[in-house]
Copies of this chain bind each other. A is one copy, B any other.
Amino acid sequence: MEYHDQLGLSRERFVDLAEQFHDDSYHGRAYRRLPDYRRSVEKGTVLVAGTVVRGFPKIPRCLVLDEGIPQQFDREIAVEEKLNGYNVRVARIEGDILAFTRSGIVCPFTTHKVRTLVDCEQFFDQHPDRMLCGEMIGPETPYTTADCYDVDSIAFRAFDIQDRVSGASLPVEERRATCEDLGVPQVDLFGIYEPAEAVEATPEIVDGLDDRGREGIVMKTVDGSQQLKYTTSAANQGDLAYAFSLPFDYGRAFAFRRLIREGFQSVEFADSEAERRQRARGVGESLLVSMTDAIEAVGDGERLGERHTVRAEPRVVDALLEHLRDQGLSLDIERDRRVEGQRVVTFAKQVQRSTDKIDSYLDGTIVKE
């Protein structure tokens, strides 16, 4: 079947779309990937060896559970944990297990880790035309750093099994049983609810996750066809702190959306006066303290960056660093050591704009606004 048939597009529409794909390769295997969302095709969709690897869909969000859940769902939904890591799709292409990040890039580090963390061959022997979708979490990843999980370095948690070409999901209970049977680690399930029950149950689930510094929940119809997400205050405020640690690199829109989420959650969760002031203090400190830390760091002559630590066999770390540099990132290697045969590297992805802007304002640059 040709690509356009697999994507469900006419030949003409595919010809237009094809120009948007970027050429890339991994270990000599050429592939094409779609770096942005398009009207009919998900971001991160890949064309490789004659097959489509469908991009993972953007999950819609509600700001108010009470109204959002019944509006989005008219039947039973599963409520599972949303993890704070990075999205990965694992597929077997002509015998090779490959791990694709959200934007469709084959990441050599993730590919290696997934192969060691999951019995992929067994999975794909049983599900040759499917892909395993999940989150890479833990303190030692090249893309995220959340340390709220009981994970020493890096771990994989499955949250979907999809048809590789169409993106159609396995029903939630079948997917969970499959992962269970094959020993594939997976996200927590909080329960299966009618929409009205979910309205009752979810605020408490979210509060419990918030207390543990966790990210949030994903709700989906038990057939896996429709999804909705909702995040904790801890996640909103953590994102705000992160954004304002690099204030001129993260968009105003990024911060604004998270502030709005806090506002609606404070109203829906019926914060008491004291709780609202507590939340406000958290919001203010997320913004101000991380920003002043950044300003002071630049004032002390430091360069700002996104700091990550990774741990793997030396050749895998080499491949990762080369891969990141190939993406155009400038890396400062801050620490590089061997621990039990593994190479453990702490590096910072340089972030130029915030460093330069802060430096220039500290030098007295005038703002014309």
Given contacts A284-B280, A284-B284, contact A62 B366 (CB under 8 A): yes
Is A247 in contact with B276, judged by CB distance below 8 angstroms? no
> Given A72-B366, A366-B62, are A280 and B276 also a contact pair (CB < 8 Å)?
no
25 pairs, CB–CB < 8 Å, chain A vs chain B: A61-B368, A62-B364, A62-B366, A64-B363, A66-B364, A68-B366, A69-B364, A244-B263, A252-B253, A252-B256, A259-B287, A262-B288, A262-B291, A263-B292, A264-B295, A267-B292, A267-B295, A276-B292, A280-B281, A280-B289, A281-B281, A283-B284, A283-B287, A283-B288, A284-B285
A212 within 8 A of B: no
> Could you give, for residues 353-369 of chain A, a 1 whenever the CB lies within 8 Å of some chain B CB and a 0 otherwise?
00000000111111111
Q: Judging by beta carbons under 8 Å apart, are B364 and A64 in contact?
A: yes
Contact with B along A291-322 (1 / 0, CB 8 A): 11011100100000000000000000000000
Q: How large is the interface on A (under 10, 10 to 19, 20 to 34, 35 or more residues)?
A: 35 or more
Nearest CB in chain B to that of A70: its residue? B364
Which single member of B257, B283, B367 contacts A62 (CB below 8 Å)?
B367
Q: Choose one: B60, B280, B295; the contact of A287 (CB below 8 Å).
A: B280
Q: Determine the distance from Cα of A280 to Cα of B259 in the docked complex, in whole angstroms.
A: 14
